[in-house]
Amino acid sequence: MSFDTAVPALKSRIHGCLLGGALGDSLGYAVEFDPITEIRRRFGADGLTGFEALGGGSHFSDDTQMTLYTVDGLVEALEWANSGVGADVNACLWLAYLRWLATQGETPDPAAPAPQPRWIDGHTVLHQRRHPGNACISGLATGEMGTAARPVNPDSKGCGTVMRSAPFGLVPHVTPDAVYKLSADAAALTHGHPSARQSAGIFSLLIHRLVAGEALADAATAVASHASSMDGVAPELPGRLNAAIRLAGQGIVTPEELVAELGEGWVAEEALAVALYAVLATSPAGADSSPDAHFRDALAVAVNHSGDSDSTGSVAGNILGAYYGEACLPDGWLEALEAPEVIRGMADLLVRVTTGEG
């Protein structure tokens, strides 16, 4: 059997990336705090391999919530630009994240601005508190707009930067350097450690290269090389990326070996490395393998370990959704996804402001 190899349209890649990330997040969220021994006890030797084992579905976490608010911040900045008015992109993102903070029942310092509500804020599913990252909450609650030069949470390197940063790579007609800077600057709104900011930028750059049509392995090698060459790079970032690529060359390893080599994914560079390994190690060798089979296989690797399964699953889903477009998303999984209309609605907004498509 052969499968359609047509190049995905940008609209399909945007929808695929956001929906794929939400699917990976949802699958991983069901086992996020379970060690691999408990995952095997609950779901069998192969672990959690699909929504069928969950009785039909699962909630997505703060990872998807914050990804959608990243989209909203970018959309607002692009709306201003399309109307001929320049806008500070990072300020728009900060305001979007402050609105997300309010959905979590948190109130920032009185010095923070009071952003006006937007369409995204009216959806109750985004007001559910789903184990938000401590640094995301505390960084925004300061009421200060963090920057790379004056970061909030200067020692925080949690994966809360990476898991929300795919949308920067989805904006067309932007240079790679600009993609990296937009993402890294936005990461500084909550996390100050260089690896947290740099990992977010490299992840967005990976998405950008995939959307531009690069092969998965080529894009992975390119961003790992880019990370290695950056001035002032946190050495753990290229170290983990190169380890992920090497490990993928060995094929599928056990979850125990995975975390021993790449970490559990709680910090930024580890989450990116685990997800990158998962999509590369399961990459089909022949033309007869379907995109949705690759997606299923990769997500099974990405979430079945003793670590931050929702974030590693989310990042892996973002990667394959950007690469294949919607063709990789299993129909049965989409039927089990929470609030797909909200995710598609935000994807449509991003499509509209970047391409003019209705």
Which residue numbers belong to the known binding site for Mg(2+)?
61-63, 308, 310-311
Residue 29 · residue 310 · CB < 8 Å: yes
Neighbours of 55 (CB within 10 A): 8
Residues flagged as binding site: 61-63, 308, 310-311
Residue 317 · residue 282 · CB < 8 Å: no
Which two structure tokens, joined as six digits, stand for 28? 């991983």
What b/e string do you get for 233-265 counting C-beta neighbours within 10 Å, with b at 16 or more? bbebbbbbbbbbbebbeeebbebeebbebbbbb
Nearest-angstrom CA–CA distance, 153 and 349: 32
Nearest-angstrom CA–CA distance, 338 and 242: 35
Residue 171, C-beta contacts closer than 8 angstroms, at least 6 positions apart: 74, 78, 179, 350, 354
Bridge partners (DSSP) of residue 58 are 337
Nearest-angstrom CA–CA distance, 236 and 263: 11
Write down the residue that tokens 């699958």 correspond to. 27
